[in-house]
Structure 1
């Protein structure tokens, strides 16, 4: 009888490797904070009651886009804009290869997804800045109506890009029978091999989350202090002021 084959060590189930790390924690944190902030800003755009939330989330979008630009300049090589440029350069060739039956699904997906990422950052930043212009009354009443139309158009454009991004992720996942959304959640993709991102940088991701939550808390406190410092202003008057501001947005 072979006792070695019956040993508890050999009979234990083999644990599959977690896969390769392909996205660091700060990149994922920026992605989900931006998604949450834009979604909240879009849903609250027409609400008089949630106007302050809409403005706060608009400011947050501006900060997150600028942080992503900074991360694209200073972050790990895989998330830098140089990596994006190489994917975009190969996109026309990939698109021309599809009609000839030579297209590479993964390479095409990466190029299109990068193109949508660039469009999303630009559209979200432009939408938020136009909203800031409305709130700060840039240009006065002469450009108010124009700026309001531009703000609405840019918000809808950003939403269209977001939906295109989601559709692309879903399409490539069905085509390749692999969940291409999971790396943005876990940071890892299935398969053997070395990590493409050496350090996860969780403390930096936590710092980003704390910074955003602190800003939201500060904005809320500013609103509360503004109400308590002016007791002579009735709630009805405050509501009417907010209503006029909401009409500008």
Structure 2
């Protein structure tokens, strides 16, 4: 009688079972993240010089539009994407800092251990909140500088905000890299695949891929519209540079 299990190979070994995972980030949130990152990198690289000024402006407008989407999605979207959840993590900062202080001052005594994982989530949440908060003054100052509503001081503020945001982005990347090294696991994977290894229910009950595709289509459509308007815009800028007092400038 053949006693070989149907799950056993001819060599007598059992094939590796699929690694359990759960969905933690839905498609619209991931699409926003990567479009936002792409727009910022492109806007930063095209910040200097007049040749790519329109590209810089269009990417800045795209960041503002993406911010509006994220705020609306954070207010009316599913629970795991709510801004209130993000703010709740930031609001827990004082209590966590007190636990760290108590553990540090009470070494050698019986104290509750510090929840370092909560500290990780807190640091990530604070970085995301800071990135979202700086976008509004960054885009508003850029819009005003582009239309020459102020002097050089406004352009300097815009550049300073851009450098500040670059620092936040680099700090965010450095933090992810450090965590990936310490845990020996790529911490950016959930933002790529939406899933995280481990058993348990999905935090993101639905993926909402249709909304992510709609967001992508909206951004690409806006870029296509700006591309069609680019020749007329460039010609208008040339005329304005010749005559600063023209009515249409």
**TM tier, smaller:** 0.7 to 0.9
For 1:47-105, what per-residue CA distance to the aligned partner results, in whole angstroms no more than 9, with x for missing partners? 22111100100100110111111111011111101211221122222233335263222
Match of 1:238 in 2: 238
The structure whose residues are more often helix, as a share, is 1
Structure-1 separation of matches of 2:5 and 2:87 = 55
Match of 2:177 in 1: 170
Match of 1:133 in 2: 144
Shift of 1:37: 0.3
Structure-2 separation of matches of 1:45 and 1:220 = 18
Q: Which of 112, 130, 152 is the equivalent residue of 1:119?
A: 130
Q: CA RMSD in A?
A: 2.4
Structure-2 separation of matches of 1:226 and 1:177 = 50
Match of 2:109 in 1: none
Q: 1:1-249 to 2 correspondence within 5 Å?
A: 1=1, 3-7=2-6, 9-11=7-9, 13-98=15-100, 100=103, 102-138=113-149, 143-226=150-233, 238=238, 241=241
Structure-1 separation of matches of 2:209 and 2:129 = 25
CA separation of 1:23 and 1:239: change in aligned 2, threshold 3 A: farther
TM-score by length of structure 2 reads 0.84
**What is the number of equivalent residue pairs in this alignment?**
230
Q: Specify every segment of 5 or more residues in structure 1 that has no aligned partner in the other structure, as ranges.
A: 245-249
Shift of 1:4: 3.4
CA separation of 1:47 and 1:137: change in aligned 2, threshold 3 A: closer
Q: Is the 8 A contact 1:124 1:155 kept in 2?
A: no
Structure-2 separation of matches of 1:48 and 1:18 = 52
Q: Is the 8 A contact 1:91 1:112 kept in 2?
A: no
For 1:9-40, what per-residue CA distance to the aligned partner results, in whole angstroms no more than 9, with x for missing partners? 44372441451100000000001101000111
Q: Is the 8 A contact 1:18 1:188 kept in 2?
A: no
Shift of 1:239: 10
CA separation of 1:104 and 1:178: change in aligned 2, threshold 3 A: farther
Match of 1:247 in 2: none
Q: Specify every segment of 5 or more residues in structure 2 that has no aligned partner in the other structure, as ranges.
A: 105-112, 245-249
